[in-house]
Structure 1
Amino acid sequence: MPQPGLLWVNSKITSPDSITPSNFKKWYEDEHIPDVLATKQIHSAYRYKNIDPSSDRPYLALYPVPDMNFLGSKEYFDIPVTSNYFPGPGHRCFDFADFDTRYYEFVHGFEKEGVKSG
């Protein structure tokens, strides 16, 4: 039986001389999110930016996952991590940003009485 959950990714640019916040955002929104959504298991993504400018990790991405088993699959690990948005020779996102990735399984949902479900 599928176990729904949430993929939580908090990130920061570690090489600001090599990639600007604008290019990081373009990579995330123009390449990475579409690559993630191209998988069979992740159907939506949400990006946030911390409103505190002194935050050590200003970026947050949330991905609802219908089946947590997906996060251990070959398809998940095959999501591209390289892009021309990042300098060469490897063009790897991990060489220019740090990602704190966590997996959360669904426990329980609550909704306000009288509110349409979903």
Structure 2
Amino acid sequence: MTLTKDLRGLLVLIIRNVTREIGISHARIYLLDNKANEYVREVHYGKERRRQFGDSLPNEAPLVQMLYRSRDIGPLLKEEVISHFQTREPEHLKEVEAQLRSMGAAVLLPAFIG
């Protein structure tokens, strides 16, 4: 293991290890840009089949808010996220389904620090 103070290098190392250990084809890490008040895709790794989705998510987006509230639960399957919006926030269901489909997400791992 090496010591790194380079955030981007550390994120690349994390995302490579996660994709390899879990056995998924691609992954993305979004970081909060406080100036723009949105989560910006900082790094991605693996096969990118889905390129329709933008490289950012507004901080107030229903998907981001739901993940923030669920941050202590751990990884969430796409189906769990959809089920949440079907039962608790149906007014945002179509928007969230489109985001998940466009990202090609199967698992979401919320990690909010600070």
**Is the TM-score greater than 0.5?**
no
- Larger RCO (alpha carbons 8 Å, 6+ apart): 1
- The structure whose residues are more often helix, as a share, is 2
Work out which of the two has the higher radius of gyration on C-alpha atoms and give 1 or 2: 1
Task: Report the TM-score when normalising by structure 1.
Answer: 0.29
